[in-house]
């Protein structure tokens, strides 16, 4: 089958299976797995060359690890250190040891048992977060705890992927400690070299590319960064995912982080979907005919063991019973990274392919079981276990990305400085790389990117933000950004800068309610000082300017949408006479008083 025909089959299967899976509440991952199973050897047999496809699709996992690295800003990770490294570390360690002990008891070799324990200890980040989001439980206590545990699991994948190839050394004999030390030193040296070069060179390279103004070159540079570090790691016998993760971490504090994430995201989504389709194709459903009861027992055993561990951790951390139950079920399944770890372990000859096939089938069915258990729990136990303390957390006033500022020139910087003075965090987006560099010299943090791109806004946290400030200088760009925010983030409150009256009208056409004309207020302040210099008292000057401001703002609303320029000019003359009469009457009232 030609490459074009295979692509059509992949896309067709995904288009059919993924929406159905999400509609049933089973998530996108199961949709991709179902699509792969349908077109693979155990389905309609449309595609049989699974190994080559799986090897190519691993770039989806590489890009996923890069994006995870981008999210791991040291400052953010430090604020979440207790739930992430405390609960997350305990969950992975305890679960992996229990599963490994059970595997040893059933006669597995210690390396295979340890890999099985580490792979099955991880839950599905994409699956669990989507399930919690659909149930509107991300802000509940168990939702936040689940996120922290999943974050640690994503971090833990990196050392696990680095450990698995090392375990293949001398797999047929005793391990030489000197070989282990040399291998560890080699790994440490390569990682240190990558960090050193990336830390001092990567940001400067992206700065030069951004100044070219060619978006395609910027995207190519982002992909080259990921693929280059991945290939370096593969060249020294380590995981490509480890290299991509390191590149992401190195970019986490860069002003180009959001722009890079937005450019990488489409490639990540496509290749990751292809990876899960390939995994679905490789699932050996023939085991259901020969080992049905063993598969069912392992699925139930894995789900029960992880649920007990998670519920215990919930109790230790103070979760009420109902919340602990939700936490236990939401993370009780196996995860997508189990497929990656098991695939690498087979390639490194750490575990046999027959064991990998069995565990992949177990993970797949455990994921399918999770929404069913969640539904049963909601309609049975959780219905009478009413915990008054189990309610959504209050959003802290200084939560990251609560305010997004589009444009960080003279207008946006003043807003940002005021917020910074009150210790209110914000994300600033600026489309000029030169302006980004200039602002950085004064200690301000601003990210490079076009705020009119929806993918960049999502990467910057617009889904969770409260206020969006449009401070860009160009009127056309301002309107385009406002339109993107209004259409895609309707709950986000917009505060916009308008260069003039016509710019304000265009923003009003988009139902932007809070608009500040940049020359209007400074002009009023100039007029007030002029009146005082001409002999009017401060009170008279203030009253005159206030009356003019109220009159003009009212007329701005009335004149909005007026298409006839002649009529508009006539009304403007009428309003000017009206304002003169109001001020004259005020002066007469003041004399009479």
The CATH number of whichever domain residue 341 belongs to comes to 1.20.1530.20
Q: For 396, phi and psi rounded to 5 degrees?
A: -65, 150
- Where are any strands of DSSP class E within 294-396? none
Burial of 522 (C-beta count, 10 Å sphere; 0-12/13-18/19+): exposed
> What pLDDT sits at residue 17?
78
Query: Rounded to whole angstroms, what are the CA distances from 209 to 444, 448, 453, 574?
Result: 21, 12, 19, 55
> In Å, what is the CA distance from 482 to each residue of 258, 485, 498, 510?
19, 5, 12, 7
Q: Which two tokens stand for residue 278?
A: 């390939």
pLDDT of residue 259: 82
Domain boundary among 361, 383, 405: 383
pTM, to two decimals: 0.60
- Clarify whether residues 375 and 425 are in a common domain: no
**Residue 560 confidence (pLDDT):** 66
Q: Are residues 419 and 333 in the same domain?
A: no
- 312 and 370 share a domain? yes
Let me know: does 179 contact 170? Beta carbons within 8 Å: yes
Instruction: Please tell me the predicted confidence (pLDDT) of residue 499.
Output: 82
Do 227 and 342 lie in one domain? The reply is yes
Judge if 334 and 410 occupy the same domain. no
Does residue 17 belong to any structural domain of this protein? Answer: yes
Alpha helices in 429-564 (DSSP H): 433-440, 454-459, 475-488, 501-509, 518-533, 538-559
From 306, 522, 534, 497, select the one nearest 409 (Cα to Cα).
Answer: 497
Q: What is the pLDDT of residue 468?
A: 92
One domain, residues 34 and 183: yes
Closest alpha carbon to 410 in 426, 430, 393? 430
> Domain of 154?
3-383
521: in domain: no
Domain-located, residue 366 = yes
402 and 377 within one domain: no
* Maximal CA-CA distance, the chain: 109
pLDDT at 249: 77
Say if residues 13 and 257 touch (Cβ distance below 8 Å). Answer: no
| Total structural domains within the chain | 3
> Tokens at residue 50, please?
């699974």
Q: Is residue 104 part of a domain?
A: yes
pLDDT of the residue at 399: 44
Give residue for tokens 């000859």.
Answer: 349
CB 457 within 8 A of CB 451: yes
Residues 374 and 506 in one domain: no
- Which of 323, 358, 383 is the endpoint of a domain? 383
- How far is Cα 155 from Cα 140, in angstroms, rounded to an integer? 23
Q: Is residue 562 part of a domain?
A: yes
556 and 508 share one domain: no
Per-residue pLDDT, 395:
37
Domain-ending residue, one of 318, 351, 383: 383
Q: Are residues 416 and 325 in the same domain?
A: no
Question: Taking the CB of residue 541, how many other CB atoms lie within 10 A of it?
Answer: 19
Give dist(CA 498, CA 515) in Å, integer.
7
Do 405 and 552 belong to one domain?
no
CATH code, domain with 467:
3.40.50.720
Place of tokens 């969006």: 468
Q: Looking at residue 398, what is its pLDDT?
A: 39
The verdict on residue 525 lying in a domain is no
Q: How far apart are CA 61 and CA 55, in angstroms?
A: 11
Structure token digits, residue 37: 């199973």
pLDDT one digit per residue (tens) for the chain, 593 residues: 666 777 787 778 777 877 877 666 566 767 777 887 788 777 777 777 666 676 666 677 777 778 777 766 666 666 667 777 888 889 999 999 999 999 999 888 888 899 999 999 998 876 676 677 667 676 677 887 887 888 788 778 878 877 887 777 544 555 556 666 766 676 677 777 777 777 777 778 888 888 887 888 888 888 888 888 888 777 766 667 777 777 887 777 777 877 888 888 777 777 777 777 777 777 777 777 788 888 899 999 999 999 999 999 888 887 888 888 888 888 898 887 888 788 888 888 888 888 888 888 898 888 878 878 887 887 776 555 544 444 443 333 334 568 888 988 878 888 887 777 777 788 888 887 667 766 766 566 678 878 888 888 888 888 888 889 898 888 888 988 999 999 899 889 898 888 887 888 888 888 888 888 877 777 777 778 887 887 888 888 888 888 888 877 777 777 666 544 445 555 556 666 666 666 666 666 565 55
> Are residues 424 and 312 located together in one domain of the fold?
no
Cα gap 389→467, rounded to integer Å: 29
């Amino acid at each position: 089958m030609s490459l074009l025909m295979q692509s059509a089959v992949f896309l067709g299967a995904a288009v059919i299976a993924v929406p159905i899976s999400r509609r049933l509440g089973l998530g996108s991952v199961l949709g991709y797995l179902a699509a792969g199973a349908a077109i693979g050897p155990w389905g309609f047999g449309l595609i049989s060359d699974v190994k080559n496809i799986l090897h190519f699709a691993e770039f989806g996992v590489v890009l996923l690890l890069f994006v995870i690295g981008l999210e791991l800003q040291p400052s953010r990770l430090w604020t979440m250190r207790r739930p992430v490294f405390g609960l997350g570390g305990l969950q992975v360690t305890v679960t992996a040891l229990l599963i490994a002990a059970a595997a040893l008891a059933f006669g597995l070799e210690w390396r295979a048992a340890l890999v099985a324990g580490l792979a099955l200890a991880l839950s599905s980040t994409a699956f669990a977060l989507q399930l919690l989001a659909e149930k509107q439980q991300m802000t509940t206590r168990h939702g936040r705890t689940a996120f922290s545990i999943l974050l640690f699991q994503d971090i833990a994948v990196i050392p696990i992927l680095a450990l698995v190839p090392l375990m293949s050394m001398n797999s047929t004999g005793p391990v030489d400690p000197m070989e282990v030390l040399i291998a560890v030193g080699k790994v440490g040296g390569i990682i240190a070299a990558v960090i050193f070069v990336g830390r001092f060179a990567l940001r400067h390279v992206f700065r030069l590319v951004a100044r070219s103004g060619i978006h395609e070159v910027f995207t190519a540079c982002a992909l080259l960064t990921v693929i280059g570090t991945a290939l370096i790691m593969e060249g020294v016998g380590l995981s490509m995912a480890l290299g991509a993760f390191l590149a992401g971490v190195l970019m986490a504090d860069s002003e180009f982080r959001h722009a890079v994430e937005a450019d990488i995201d489409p490639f990540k989504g496509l290749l990751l979907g292809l990876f899960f389709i390939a995994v679905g194709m490789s699932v050996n459903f023939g085991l259901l005919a020969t080992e049905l009861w063993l598969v069912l027992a392992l699925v139930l055993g894995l789900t029960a063991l992880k649920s007990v561990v998670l519920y215990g951790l919930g109790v230790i951390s103070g979760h009420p019973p109902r919340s602990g139950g939700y936490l236990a079920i939401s993370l009780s399944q196996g995860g997508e990274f189990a497929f990656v770890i098991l695939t690498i372990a087979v390639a490194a000859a750490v575990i046999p392919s027959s064991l990998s096939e069995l565990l992949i089938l177990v993970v797949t069915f455990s994921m399918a079981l999770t929404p069913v258990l969640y539904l049963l729990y909601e309609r049975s136990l959780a219905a009478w276990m009413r915990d008054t303390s189990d309610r959504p957390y209050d959003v802290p006033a200084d939560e990251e990305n609560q305010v997004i500022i589009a444009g960080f020139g003279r207008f946006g910087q003043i807003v940002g400085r005021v917020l910074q003075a009150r210790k209110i965090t914000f994300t600033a987006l600026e489309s000029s790389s030169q302006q980004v560099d200039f602002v950085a010299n004064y200690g301000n943090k601003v990210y490079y990117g076009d705020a009119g791109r929806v993918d960049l806004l999502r990467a910057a946290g617009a889904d969770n933000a409260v206020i969006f400030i449009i401070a860009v200088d160009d009127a056309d760009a301002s309107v385009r950004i406002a339109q993107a925010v209004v259409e895609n983030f309707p709950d986000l409150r917009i505060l916009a800068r308008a260069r003039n009256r016509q710019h304000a009208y265009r923003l009003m056409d988009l139902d932007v309610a809070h608009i500040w004309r940049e020359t209007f207020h400074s002009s009023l302040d100039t007029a007030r000082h002029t009146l005082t210099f001409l002999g009017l008292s401060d009170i008279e000057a203030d009253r005159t300017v206030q009356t003019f401001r109220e009159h003009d703002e009212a007329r701005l609303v009335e004149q909005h949408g007026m298409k006839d320029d002649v009529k508009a000019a006539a009304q403007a003359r009428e309003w000017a006479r009206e304002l003169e009469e109001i001020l004259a009457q005020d002066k007469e009232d003041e004399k009479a008083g």
